Structure 1
């Protein structure tokens, strides 16, 4: 019948302790042999010093028990071999009793002192190793990452400290180090390990392999104790049951587990806070969206309803000009509603990160020209000047997205500037990018609001709104999202006299496809 693993561990510990006593006896025997070799050249006090030195060596190398045995053996060996009559324990000179007493007191004192110094040095070394391991774990955890990343870091450090394979489990969650290692599988297939894990969580102490609690378990279970609660456990499966963890190594594993528990709790609380913040932000966005819809849709719907009801009730009595004007009102308000819904859908795509950019190398003036045609009616009363140099390179862009950026910026300029003012669109190359500028001649953006204008549903009020109404407060938000998706940035440039928006389009893109000569000729 095979011996249980914990019995083997206890046998190894007993063997180690017995070997310390054997070495203590051997050192004293070596001191006695040295004294016998030099007895003719040494005085009795010199031999006593050799024995005291041997006791000091034993006290420095081993625990107090072997040091005490060495002290008693040194007195006996000194009396037997170096005090007349030799090779007997009889003492003819009563003065030697005082010598024995002094030797015993000095040997015990020196043994105790050296043992204490050795233990203090050992404790200092263990604390240094523990602090080094704790610092390494804290440094990795401070680098950030989600819970799964932290599980990997903690498992790696505890595996090194515990000389085994570590896994991390959180209570009340499916988070674990390795996919599929859920409670009831892997290390938890063993009933002894499950019992040890339950005991460790309930009592907040280490259990399982190498401990006095649930020692029959094949793994050591360390509770993850945060300052407020136990958040889970760490299991350490030894690579070899012949290698028993020392008390210092087990303490190091426990310290690392406590540090990991605090980090896990901070991450869990942070994630809960972020989730709550996202929910609050989503609720705020939903409220703002409903408010915007109820406000912005009410006006065009009222216009459509009024014009349509007039046409239905008394279309025959209305002159053709009035009928045409009402039809144009219906058409314009319908287009206004279409723009609003389009902006809302674009904003949802931008916020969800669902914007797919299909870059192709093409001239920037094509996207600008299409945008000018689409907003031609809304730019009535504004002179638009384009300043695109003839040597402007091709840019890797998604034409439809950049076209939408131009439309939103041009509509924004027309909406916030009085009729008769000009709008200028220019572009130039700078630092591996093309910079595009859309500038109007209106009142401009107030100082301090350079970032505010890009917030969702933000609208300029008061004297700044000199153009026709109809803005949803989403155009600039969408523009920034589309430009960011291209790898560029959009910002407000102050000091140009009027509102000035600039954005960059990086020139890094897919390779330019060169068509063969036959295709070009065809």
Structure 2
């Protein structure tokens, strides 16, 4: 019989609420069919165990009672440990959620307000004084409006990309591509932000093709280039190099900035995490590297950060697996291959 009579339900509830035995053989509610014992810990009761026996008379001998008490105590401690672990996990997740919420609000307030203020200032100046301004000054103000609008657009795009990653809605549109083509596209897109740097590339033409989403891969590279340009001084070199290693293509983005503080290496890809900046380093959103990792991992690759050993600077290393089967050179790509 798996159902409980009202007397048993009352006894179980009383044992839970009062942290004492109730039911058959106990001083409280002895008319119940079963004996109910609370699972106790140092903090409170965390459960109730019920005992039944078809035999008449006492349910347990004194020795059986001592053994049961010991087992019940051990079970209560084990359950409490599981609950404590769950409590710690919930507290950690809540703290992380609060951190992300606070970081998001800070990022939005700063990264939206700053370009908007520049746009409004330049637009307002043009509106009020355009006829009296020299052509060069008007061009500079218009350039400010365009560049700050592009910065604002990148920030909003980053927020949308991060939302896709966090929600698990990322679905790469795979095709076979030569990594040098995607690198070239990313460099072309990043011309403005890398204009004051020297770009060096070493991407062999005979690298095998990769199965990737070119849009996601280009965005991941763009974010790495943006990061390099942000932390490396004007006139310094940003180098991209690639090679084949043990069934994978390795692609590195290297800069000549100050490098990554050792304490930041483990958190460099965390959402909204920003490395402490020097005065000349322009502000970032704390999203770019996190998005790069999300995109690369969504395509089956890995990305890691380290410091250069030959000189100051950071190295970001992407590792992408080479497909097991590739079409012969010159052969058309079928739908299956693409």
Normalised by the length of structure 2, the TM-score is 0.79
Secondary structure of 2:199 counterpart? strand
Q: Which moved more, 1:362-371 or 1:224-233?
A: 362-371
Question: Which residue does the alignment assign to 1:488?
Answer: 302
CA contact (8 A) 2:269 2:290 kept: yes
Which residues of 2 match residues 308-323 of structure 1 at below 5 A?
308-323=123-138
**Aligned counterparts of 1:385 and 1:375: Cα–Cα separation in 2:** 14
Q: Find out whether 1:380 has 2:195 as its counterpart.
A: yes
Q: Deviations over 1:275-300 (max 9, x none)?
A: 33433333333333323333333331
For 1:194-233, list aligned pairs within 5 A: 194-201=9-16, 202=18, 204-205=20-21, 207-208=23-24, 217=32, 221-233=36-48
- Given candidates 279, 283, 287, the residue that maps to 1:474 is 287
| Secondary structure at 1:500 match in 2 | strand
Judged with a 3 Å threshold, the aligned counterparts in structure 2 of structure 1 residues 327 and 430 are, in CA distance, closer, same or farther, namely same
Give ranges in structure 1 of 5+ residues lacking alignment.
1-185
Taking the TM superposition and a 5 Å limit, the aligned residue runs for 1:414-425 are 414-425=229-240
Cα distance, 1:338 vs. partner? 1.3
In the TM superposition, residue 411 of structure 1 has moved relative to its aligned partner by 0.7
TM-superposed deviation, 1:438: 0.4
- Which structure's residues are more often helix, by fraction? 1
The number of residues matched between the two structures is: 325
Contact between 1:355 and 1:482, CA under 8 Å: does it hold in 2? Answer: no
Q: Relative contact order: is structure 1 or structure 2 higher (C-alpha 8 Å, sep ≥ 6)?
A: 2
Cα drift, residue 218 of structure 1? 5.4
Gap runs ≥5 in structure 2: none
Match of 1:337 in 2: 152
| Partner residue, 1:362 | 176
- Aligned partners of 2:249 and 2:258: how far apart in 1? 27
Q: 2:275 aligns with which of 454, 459, 467?
A: 459
Of Structure 1 and Structure 2, the greater strand share is in 2
Task: Tell me the secondary structure at the aligned position of residue 377 of structure 1.
Answer: coil
| Superposition deviation, residue 424 in structure 1 | 1.4
Q: Quick check: which has more Rg, 1 or 2? A: 1
SS in 1 for 2:132: coil
In angstroms, what is the RMSD of aligned CA positions? 3.6
Distance 1:223 1:409, change over 3 A: same
- Cα deviation for residue 207 of structure 1 reads 4.1
The 2-side partners of 1:371 and 1:237 are apart by 73
Q: Deviations over 1:116-155 (max 9, x none)?
A: xxxxxxxxxxxxxxxxxxxxxxxxxxxxxxxxxxxxxxxx
Provide Cα deviations, 1:399-428, integer angstroms capped at 9, x if missing partner.
333222101110111122233322211222
- What is the distance in 1 between the residues matched to 2:327 and 2:196? 42
In the alignment, is the contact (CA less than 8 A) between 2:209 and 2:326 conserved in 1?
A: no
1:308 Cα deviation (Å)?
A: 1.0
* CA distance, structure 2, for counterparts of residue 433 and residue 366 of structure 1: 17
Q: Does the 8 Å CA contact 1:488/1:506 hold for their aligned counterparts?
A: no
